[in-house]
Amino acid sequence: MRYGPAGRLLLTPVDGEAPERVRRLRELGFGDRPDPVFDEFAHRAARATRAPYGMVNFIDENRQFFAGLHTPAGTHSGSDLSTSAAAAAARGTGRVLSRDRGFCPHVIVRRKALVLEDVCDYPRFAGNPVVDEIGVRSYLGAPLIDRAGIALGTICVVDTEPRPWGRAGLETIKSLAGELVERIHRREDGAI
């Protein structure tokens, strides 16, 4: 575990790849606007895992942007996640989330899938602001690693209840990540 200068547990991992990721995201034209293809992938991830929320998330040095988003209400707004949509909107919840919130920054740095059936079982993750502020209790995500070897972002699903994702959930999210990366490559090559 990493601790900061004051001896506090660092909840957000250090991300040395961020500048190169930002350059690559700009090159691809990702990370600053919603995309219907990514919304569809978020929907597929949620449907395949029976999770209420799905996201395709691109991360820069300071923030996360949900280029793809699925919510139960179908509004494509993360504000549905909170019991108080007005309070969530006031916190800036929607398609943008600060880099120090959530679990996708961990997936990016780890460069491998992360399965949290109950985030409260893990001290490092239980203290994340999304647990109390938004109500996230379980998370399943995989990195989107492109042909240049850069972890561009994640595809993930979350629930407000603990979830036994199991091996099937892990294999599903990893498969969707691979499929989405291939689609990104085809788009970059002009094949779609």
- H/E element, 125: helix 123-126
Strand boundaries in 1-137, DSSP class E: 53-59, 63-70, 96-98, 114-116
List, for residues 9-58, the tens digit of each pLDDT value.
546 788 999 999 999 999 999 988 999 999 999 999 999 999 999 999 99
The whole-model pTM stands at 0.84
Fold designation for 18-187? Beta-Lactamase (3.30.450)
pLDDT in tens, 141-192: 999 999 999 999 999 999 999 999 999 999 999 999 999 999 999 999 988 7
* Residue 83 banded pLDDT, cuts 50, 70, 90: very low
The confidence band for 76, taking pLDDT boundaries of 50, 70 and 90, is: low
Is it the case that residue 5 has pLDDT exceeding 90? no
Domain ranges of the chain: 18-187
Q: How confident is the model at residue 86 (pLDDT cuts 50, 70, 90)?
A: very low
